[in-house]
A and B are shown apart, each in its own frame.
Chain A
Amino acid sequence: MSSPTKQHDSWWKEGVGKVLTTVSASILILTTLAIIYFIASKGLATFFSNGVSLVEFLIGTEWNPEGAPGQFGALPFILGSFIVTVGSALLAAPLGIGTAIFMTEISPRIGQKVMQPVIELLVGIPSVVYGFIGLSVLIPFLRNSFGGVGFSILAGILVLTVMILPTITSLSVDAVKRVPRDLKEASLALGATRWQTIWNIIVLRSSLPGLLMAIILGMARAFGEALAVQMVIGNTTAIPKSLLSPSNTLTSGITLNMGNTIPGSAYNNALWSMGLLLLIMTLIFILLIRWISKRGQA
């Protein structure tokens, strides 16, 4: 039997703990709700107060909010965001998954000693540095190789590829490591080669949900990245004609123009609408991740 004071003591501690955690959780939830509410109310005002048509915003190709009348076609931004996201994922996914397999299945020692620290370093580098390197190395290279200005969707894709590569790689490593040894051995014991086992058991089956998750998280990062992309993509408001055309993204559109607009104006609200679009996309990424992880468990 514990003494009454001791019981009181633990009750007190438990009570404090409960209150503290509940308060923290409530603050987090309230902040999130407030942000969503704020973005939504501002972002929707474009359509309800300023009378911009939603259809024009989503598929219009002319972006000139300060014109008379203002034009609010955000498609160039939307398109730019999607192209750089998908493009960088297409490049980074095979590279990242290949690297992850090398690190876990082919040469764990090099993986552990060399690649792991390199990846951790790459994750930690601030995005402005990636943008700066892109600006000083990649842009001149593209200009000299393909002509034009160098600032382009391709430059954005390449910078983002490097940026999301460590994310995809390290998450893929986790996914591949989770494949039970049992399954690999069973495949090898049936006479499968190492590559057949890696492909059929690890990539296509056991770690597929984890690998998809890695790719989607990489895409989410690419979609939301503003600074580095903005430094290399050229920031024009025309629909891109090729991968070498300069373009724009939702994030760089917002960061570049936010300072020049008057709060409450249609222009300002239209930027919030772009923010709302980013929020919705993020939500979709999260839902996708949840759906995959649920299916992965089944």
Chain B
Amino acid sequence: MSATPVLALRGVSKRFGAVQALTDVELEVHAGEVVALVGDNGAGKSTLVKTIAGVHPVDDGVIEWEGKAVSIVRPQDAQHLGVATVYQDLALCDNLDVVGNLFLGRELLRFGSLDEVSMEKRSRELLNTLSIRIPSVRIPIASLSGGQRQVVAIARALIGEPKVVILDEPTAALGVEQTAQVLDLVERLRERGLGVILISHNMADVMAVADTVHVLRLGKNNGSFAVKETTNEQIIAAITGASDNAVTRRQARNAEAAK
């Protein structure tokens, strides 16, 4: 793992009106590292992702790219640096077909006009590696199921040459087979030396693929753990903010009942 992180957040804050969504958040992602970002609902994970992706510019703090401070105020800025993002709300255009959505913003050209044939071919190959069954890459996104849309959104992030891929709950709507494929994909991205930020509520998935787990709680850092030296319980305690929490109480009850 290289010394300088490819992406680093230093003291990032973001507020929406009366809501302080992020307070002094620190985060580092190295090349070839999978960083899991976990936290309760409303902890600020998606907001953090959107600040990196340029959807919401930060109010305070610095974003460093390969050691240098950069300003990311528009989605284009993040794209040019090499950040590809899969948003929790997917952000696809319902009226465009699958190919149109996959290549939106970086269409392949041939003699200055859209090269539909190459884009279609590439789209099919990409979707096949993610084992998704889509009736046709030429139907509008509106006619796809939730999981199919999610796979399209993930495939979208793989077009272009990103250095950091951010996945905001990428497997939330996926079946077992597709979830496994996405986890495989995350590992392939790491092998290729990309930095990956993975947001998930599924601790098993997180423990399976992540190198580091960062916990966000109420918009603040609440601990960061190396997966190899950590247990599930420690992370859950950090997420909920107490060692006595709903999860441990439930486990204790179940253990009691089993006796």
Q: Verify that A and B bind, or say they do not.
A: no
**What is B's interface to A at a CB cutoff of 8 Å?**
none
